[in-house]
Each structure stands twice: as C-alpha cells, then as structure tokens.
Amino acid sequence: MLKIFPLITLIILSLLAINSIYAENYSNSSSSINNNSSDFKITNDTTLLSYKFESFLLLDGTIFKDIPHDDRLTLNNFAIASWIKTNQSIVYEAAHLVNKGGFNSEKEGDNMNYGIWFSTDGTISGGFETESGENFQVNSTTRYNDGKWHFILLSYDGSLLRLDIDGEKQISTKNTNGAIPDITGKEPLRIGANSLDKDRYFTGYIDEVRVWNRGLTDEEVSQIYTNDTFNKTGQVVYLDFKENDIGSSSIIPLYTNKSLQIDKKNDDNNFNIAVAADWGCTEDTKKTAKNIQKKNPELVIAAGDLSYDESASCWFEIIKPFKSKMKIAMGDHEYSDTNGGAIGIINQYLKPLNLTKTYYSFDMNNVHFSVIDPHIDYGSTSDQYRFIEQDLRNASTNPKIDWIFVVESRPFYTSPSYHPADSTIRDVFHLLFDKYGVDLVFSSDNHNYQRTFPLEYNNNADSSNPIIIDRNQTYYNGDHLGQIYLITGTAGRSLYEIKQQAPFVAKQDDKHFGFLNIDINGKTIKGTFYANESKLPHYYYVDYQNNIIDQFTISKMNKPNNNDNEFDKL
C-alpha cells in the first residue's frame, strides 16, 4: 500500500491541474458570452459563433418575402443556412422559416422541395417530401424559441439528411435510401411562411439566408463554425437584408437585389379579407371554407356562432387551412353551447388563436379592426366601452389608417327575419361609429346575407329608422359619414328566411351559403359576396361564372376629419 500511495497522489494532483485549466478556459468563454447576450457556446469548447450582422429581416406573423420560382432553385440535393431569433412561446401550427414547395398537400408538384420550420413544441425541423408525398425530416431535441439568436444549417447530399443548430449535429434516423425531393413544383422560395398556401407564418427575426444546390461536407460545416467561412461553390441564394429592410442579395448567378420580392398585398395596402358567420360543422360549412381558401385571403373574420357544439374541435378542423389567419367575435352560441361557458371559450377558442380577450383590436396594413363582445357588459361605464371608445378615437386620428371595420355578432339593422335588430347595442355604439368614422360593421345571428346603404344614427326619432346617407346601389363615397352594416350569417349552419326588404337595406339574399370577400386597394375597397353553388337559379341577376350575389365599392379621396363634426359633444 505504501508503494501505491505516491502513484494515487500523482494521479489526484494531475486531475486537479487539468480541472483548473478547464475551469479557467470555461471562465474565459463564459466571460465572452456574457459580453453579448446573443452569443452562445458551441459544442467545441474552443469555438464561439455569435450573431454579428446588421440589418435583419423582422417578420410580424402576417408577412413574408419571396424569391420567384426559377428552375435553378429546384434542387435534388441542397443545404440551407440561416440565423433566426424568436421568443414566440406558443406555436399552434408549424411556422416556416425558409422553404420551397411548402406543405398542406400530398400531390405531385405541391410537396416540399426543401425547408426548415418551427414545430409546435418550439423545436426546429427540416427536410423534404418526395413526389409521392413521403416525408423525410430531422428534428431538434431542444427548443429554440428563447429570444436568442441561433444558427441553423440543414443539408442533404442524396443519402444523409443532417440538421446542425449552433454546432450541434443531428442525423436523420430515417434512411433516405437515395430518396429524391419533389422537384416538379413551381412555388417560390419563401422566407417566413408556407410556400404553398400563404399560411404558417413565422414571427421573429431572420438573417443571412443561404441556399446551396448541394449538400455540405463535414469539413465545410466545420469551417463555418471554426472560421466563419462559407464555401460558395453551388451557393445559389444569399440574402443579408441590408437594403431598405428588403435585403441585398448575392445570388449566384441568378438574381440582382430587386429579385427578392415582397408580398405586395401586405406592403402596398393591396390585400383581401374574407368574412362569414354562423358556421356550424356541416357539409355547407366545408364548402364555404374551401371557397374561402380559393380566394387566398390574408385575413379571415368569423363574426360569431362558430361550432354550435360544446367543443370547438370540429370547427377548427374545417378552418385548419387558414387557421393562422383567423380572427373571431363571440356569438351567443359560444356562450350557450361551449362546454365550460366563459372558461371554455377561453380555452377552446381564444387560446388556439392566440387571443386573450373576447373584445380586442388590431391593424392590418391600412385597416383597423375593433372587435366587440355583445354578450358581456358594454354599457357606457364598462371596461369594454371605454376600450372601444379609446380604440376608435386612436384609429380615427392615425394617419396610417384609411379604413375602420367593426366586428360583432348582434345585428344593428336588419330586414325582418328570425332575429330582430338589437336596439340596445345600436343605441350605445352607433353614435361612436359616426363620431370616429367607422366604415363597415360586420355582424351575424340572422343566417342570411344583408348589406345596408351607408347609415347615420337617427337621434331625433326611432333609432330603428336610420338616416340613409347615400341611396346608390353599388358605389359610395367613403369620405362621407355613415357606415355600411353587413350581416354574413351564411357560412353553413342553416338559412333564415327574409320576410321583406327594409328600406335601409340595399341588397339581401336568403337562398345561398357563401362568404363576403373584401378587396382593399389603398383608399378603395370592393366587396363581393360569393355563393357556394356552382349554378344559381335563372331569376338571379348575378355573375354566373363567379357565383356573385352582390358587389359594392367604396372609395376615399381624403381621410375625413371626424373630430370636426356634430358628435364632438359626446
């Protein structure tokens, strides 16, 4: 034992020395990391890779950037690299970062050629689909929605699909056996959303996007992390987003800076929304949802009465293709049918749509939306009323807002039908709408389609007889006061008979399911009600080819100063 003791002592002293050296190196590395919160430690202890680029692309969950399809972007083998950052804690559906071909389909030509995306649990996945729709993907084991910059690299060389994040390498457990990605599609290379259907938006930051037409070798990947050098052989896309928030591109040899296309509908106030209410989960509901999807709106409004069931699941299944674009108002059936009442509404409807209250507001480009809940207190002393009044006041004075739309489920005005107009909510809010220049009001409850003339509140007589501002049937000057009230209870639950036409109603229909499409083009909007049916009765004077029941246009030359009118006294 005496002979062994010096050897043990020597081993212990050696281990202590090694530990001291490691601790010193770790301390130095930690110091470097703390100097910049966006730095992070790589698997190799001697290597630090940090985000140090400006500017970057900021995506708010409603926009994306495109590079138009080109055959040289359609790849059998590929590599994708990008810096990303997000703190989005809840992801209800996969959010695309960089992809060509997207997903939502298993048809040849509509499969993903290549892409990387956030999964719903905050992990990152990447891969491709074959022409037959077979999926090949590799997934991270760590969540990366932590508000820090991370470097992502996806590579496929024809046999090995690998995903590297911050230097940590993962290899697909599924042997591709030489699988070939679907290269028959014509979709654009899209940054920040699904390439196929304009959904599954990413919210966060993206920068330094690169695409190669080949897989990268281990040595090339190592050089990226150790020396921050990229082999440009086969690099067909490089986007650094330095010019005008659009980004310069060194895309070899395909593109100039102008080749990176912005989604024009979002950036030029040229886009469309779809509106429907009284949904249910019927076959007619499915037809309405399918027809809405064909119009590819940037926003879908459901103005109340959704599943008509104690569970929201059947309705969410139907609107799944555009769930990420959906905003809702509460109808009476949400309160009376949903299991759990108000708590059930929160858990089944609001949380899946990332909403926190049943009344709220938001902007989309040059349009402001205020959503009212008529099933909770909205009296003049209520929190909801104070919120709506302040919200409309702010929107009316915002130089970036040209249009103000209100969404709620009770009809202010209606032709005689199953439900009468709600005089209580009308007498509370119509004066506010006049004062702050609201343009359109969407409601539901009556299962039919109705559009009024522009109406002003009648304060000198029975408020059920509003002042008609303009009796033109289809074209209106939006600079004038008054709102158009629209009932769109035609999503699919059932249809209610309209017994006669009220004098303030310009157009009505109780024979067809369908939806209202609103095209916004700067200071002009065009509304079109599309019926689901492919053939309409001969006595309907409609556009048979497009199933159009109604059309109207509103144009503005100047934004009215709504504070200089008789309602300032309110």
pLDDT digits (tens, 9 = 90+) for 59-82: 878 888 888 888 889 999 999 999
Q: What are phi and psi for residue 192, nearest 5 degrees?
A: 100, 5
The predicted pLDDT at position 500 comes to: 95
pLDDT at 28 > cutoff 80: no
Nearest by Cα to 55 from 241, 244, 250, 246: 241
For residue 57, the cross-strand partners are 206
- Find tokens 């010193």 and name the residue: 24
Residues 6+ apart with CB under 8 A from 130: 111, 136, 179, 180, 181, 182
239, 263, 287 - which closes a domain: 263
Q: Is the dihedral of CA 470, 474, 480, 482 positive or negative?
A: positive
CATH number at residue 226: 2.60.120.200
Statement to judge: residues 435 and 465 lie in one domain: yes
Determine the pLDDT at residue 21: 33
Please report whether residue 4 resides in a domain: no
Same domain flag for 502 and 392: yes
Last residue of a domain, one of 238, 263, 288: 263
Together in a domain, 324 and 366? yes
Average pLDDT (105-122) is 87
Cβ proximity of 493 and 278 under 8 Å: yes
Q: Which residue has the tokens 């109340």?
A: 304
Lowest mean pLDDT among 115-119, 170-174, 231-235, 395-399: 170-174
What is the mean pLDDT of the segment spanning 493-502?
95
Same structural domain, 202 and 280: no
Q: Are 122 and 156 in contact (CB under 8 A)?
A: no
What is d(CA 470, CA 346) in angstroms, rounded to the nearest whole number? 41
Candidates 217, 97, 96, 113; CA nearest to 155 is 217
Which amino acid is located at 506 in the chain? A
My answer on whether 294 and 439 are in the same domain is yes
Question: Residue 133's pLDDT is what?
Answer: 87
Predicted local confidence at residue 489, as pLDDT: 96
pLDDT attached to residue 548: 87
Same domain (yes/no): 559, 445: yes
CB atoms within 10 A of CB 120: 11
Domain assignment present for residue 38? The answer is no
Distance CA(164)–CA(42), nearest Å, equals 11
The pLDDT of residue 457: 93
**417-438 pLDDT per residue, tens:** 999 999 999 999 999 999 999 9
Predicted local confidence at residue 545, as pLDDT: 44
The reply to whether 413 falls in a domain is yes
Q: Give the Cα separation of 121 and 128 in Å (integer).
A: 20
Kindly state whether residue 47 falls inside one of the protein's structural domains: no
C-beta of residue 408 within 8 angstroms of C-beta of residue 372: yes
Report pLDDT for 18.
37
Give the mean pLDDT of 27-32: 29
Residues 255, 291 within the same domain: no
Buried b (16+ CB within 10 A) or exposed e, 61-72: bbbbbbbebeee
At residue 241, the pLDDT reads 83
| Three-state secondary structure call for residue 434 | helix
What is the mean predicted confidence (pLDDT) over 439-452?
Answer: 96
Same domain, 451 and 563: yes
CA–CA dist 570, 565 (Å, integer)? 11
**Domain ranges, residue 69:** 57-263
In the numeric block, which tokens belong to residue 393? 């006041």
Is residue 442 exposed (0-12), middle (13-18) or buried (19+ Cβ within 10 Å)? Answer: buried
pLDDT tens column, 162-203: 999 998 876 655 678 889 999 999 999 999 999 988 888 898
Collapsing DSSP states into helix, strand and coil, what is residue 444? coil
500 and 477 co-located in one domain: yes
CB contact at 8 A, 231 and 153? no
Q: How high is the pLDDT of residue 215? A: 93
Does residue 256 have a pLDDT over 50? Answer: no
Pairwise pLDDT comparison (225 vs 8), residue with the higher score: 225
| DSSP 3-state of 190 | strand
- Three-state DSSP state, 394: helix
Report d(CA 295, CA 517) in Å as an integer. Answer: 8
Q: End of a domain among 235, 263, 291? A: 263
Q: Which residue has the higher pLDDT, 185 or 254?
A: 185
For every residue of 277-291, DSSP letters joined together read ----SSHHHHHHHHH
| pLDDT exceeds cutoff 50 at 205 | yes
pLDDT beyond 80 at 549: yes
* Cβ pair 414, 451 in contact under 8 A: no
Asked if residue 423 and residue 445 are part of one domain, the reply reads yes
Checking if the pLDDT of 536 tops 70, the result is: no
Mean pLDDT of the chain: 81
Q: What is the pLDDT of residues 321-367, one digit of tens each?
A: 999 999 999 999 999 988 888 888 998 999 999 898 999 999 999 99
User: What is residue 172's predicted lDDT score, i.e. its pLDDT?
Assistant: 59
Domain count, the chain: 2
When pLDDT is cut at 50, 70 and 90, the band that residue 475 belongs to is confident
pLDDT at 174: 62
> Domain for residue 17, yes or no?
no
Q: State the CATH number of the domain containing residue 519.
A: 3.60.21.10
Q: Quick check: is 128 in a domain? A: yes
**Shared domain check, 177 and 281:** no
Task: Give the pLDDT of residue 120.
Answer: 85
Average pLDDT of the segment spanning 224-251: 72
Q: Dump the DSSP string for 217-232.
A: PHHHHHHHHHH-----
